Amino acid sequence: MNKNKSSPRAGETATATSQKPILPKARYHPSIKCNKPGDAVLPQTSNTLETGPKRRSKAREVPPLQPGSQCGDTSRQVDKGPVSRVQTKTSPKPPQKSVRKETSDSELNSNKGPPSPEQVPLGVDIVLDRHVIEQVEVLTRGQRENQDWFSWRKNRITASLAHQIAHCRLVNGKSTTPPSSYLAAITGDRRHVQTRAMSWGINMESKVIHKYQKLKTLALGRPVMVRDCGLFIDAQRPWLAASPDGILVDSRTGEWLLGLEVKCPYKHRHSSVEEACRSDRAFCLEIVEGDDQNPREIPVYRLKTSHQYFTQIQCQLAVTGLHSADLVVYTTKETAIVPVTFDPDLWEETVSKLEMFYRSAVLPKLREKAAAWTPEQ
């Protein structure tokens, strides 16, 4: 953040208007190619991303699009109790060949270290170098246990806030005042509070990831592992970032397969996932009912596209360049693995609103804080 005094440029502060705001056109992660409806989604080849506000970046290679339908895919990978029962999905289309692989620590450390968070500009027209993005991701691994993670998240819109911001009154033309709590969460001015529900999720996360890794190895028929990851910064939007709970990779080749997000609902910790779906209308999952001719012995779950977890995972996929992720919902009675696929239409609408919020609310706030800062004599 620039500590020199500066005044907001015209058009960047929130102004009263009776008309619905014009949203900026979405710009996708360089590894995501959005085709017309009905077209196949193909990975693009990779090189590097260059810094500078006007230099166009080359796309990097991405892992395969997982077989299955579009967003909100249903799940047939469920573990109930001590007995693991895993069913894999089938698709008439073969999976694409994976092209993205792990970057070794020696490769990342071969050049100078990453800049400090204050040295990276946060304007809406900045493009970051790919090497810097990879260095920051490694530097911030450990996430909440790593102070660097907090430092690099500061002043950025992150995936966990994406749903709330995209649905706030400001970006939908119903207010001219940004929510102060959202601004405080972005700028790091909000006091961190860890609730009992948050503690439950944190304490169970490693156990759930270990179980998920075993289930996916059985389901895929090859050894896979969940790689720890830090903060991914969007290459074309350095003000946007995401921290998945892990990346599923092929143990032998290092290829990236899926993103991973783990949820351990405290409210339903002693219930099964099926019971939570049937008793709680606000629950993140819904059951895909079978018909009379094809009854299902194992329930099939789907992530509600209207839920905040769906928006969160869409942001993670867009920032990392992955096309699919697994949402793992854990209770003491059941573990459900629900696949989620990138939805380019929803993301285009969402990221336009996020950019509008950042431009009209966050940047003016940062300039206001910079103007109020007085260096010591």
CATH number at residue 305: 3.90.320.10
For residue 54, the model assigns a pLDDT of: 41
The pTM score is: 0.73
Nearest CA among 105, 92, 374, 127 for reference residue 240? 127
Are 168 and 183 a contacting pair, CB within 8 Å?
Answer: no
pLDDT digits (tens, 9 = 90+) for 275-315: 999 999 999 999 998 766 666 778 999 999 999 999 999 99
Q: What is the pLDDT of residue 289?
A: 83
324 found inside a domain:
yes
3-state secondary structure of 183: helix
The reported pLDDT for the residue numbered 80 is 57
How many Cα atoms occupy the beta-carbon half-sphere of 14 within 13 Å? 20
Using alpha carbons only, give the angle 243, 284, 289 rounded to the nearest 5 degrees: 130
Q: Which residues of the chain are under the pLDDT cut of 70?
A: 1-111, 291-295, 374-377
DSSP state of 341: E
Task: Return the pLDDT at 138.
Answer: 97
The reported pLDDT for the residue numbered 111 is: 56
DSSP per residue over 206-271, as a string? HHHHHHHHHHHHHHHTS-EEEEP--PEEPSS-TTEEE--SEEEEETTT--EEEEEEEE--GGGTTS
Q: Is residue 328 part of a domain?
A: yes
Let me know if residue 180 belongs to a domain. yes
pLDDT attached to residue 119: 87
CA 24 from chain center: how many Å? 21
Task: Determine, yes or no, domain membership for 14.
Answer: no
What's residue 52's pLDDT? 41
Q: Which domain holds residue 226?
A: 74-87+129-364
How many domains are contained in the chain?
Answer: 1
Q: Is residue 116 part of a domain?
A: no
* pLDDT for the residue 90: 35
DSSP string across 142-181: TGGG-HHHHHHHTTSEEHHHHHHHHTSTTTTTS-SS--HH
352-364 residue pLDDT tens: 999 999 999 999 9
Cα–Cα dist 203/53, whole Å: 42
In-domain check, residue 11: no
Is 280 inside any structural domain? yes
The pLDDT assigned to 297 comes to 79
Report whether 183 contacts 365 (CB < 8 A): yes
pLDDT of residue 79: 59
Query: What pLDDT is stored for residue 7 in this prediction?
Result: 44
- Distance, in Å, from the CA atom of 70 to the CA atom of 89, rounded to the nearest integer, reads 13
- Quote the pLDDT of residue 62: 38
* Residue 141 domain-assigned (yes or no): yes
Looking at residue 70, what is its pLDDT?
37
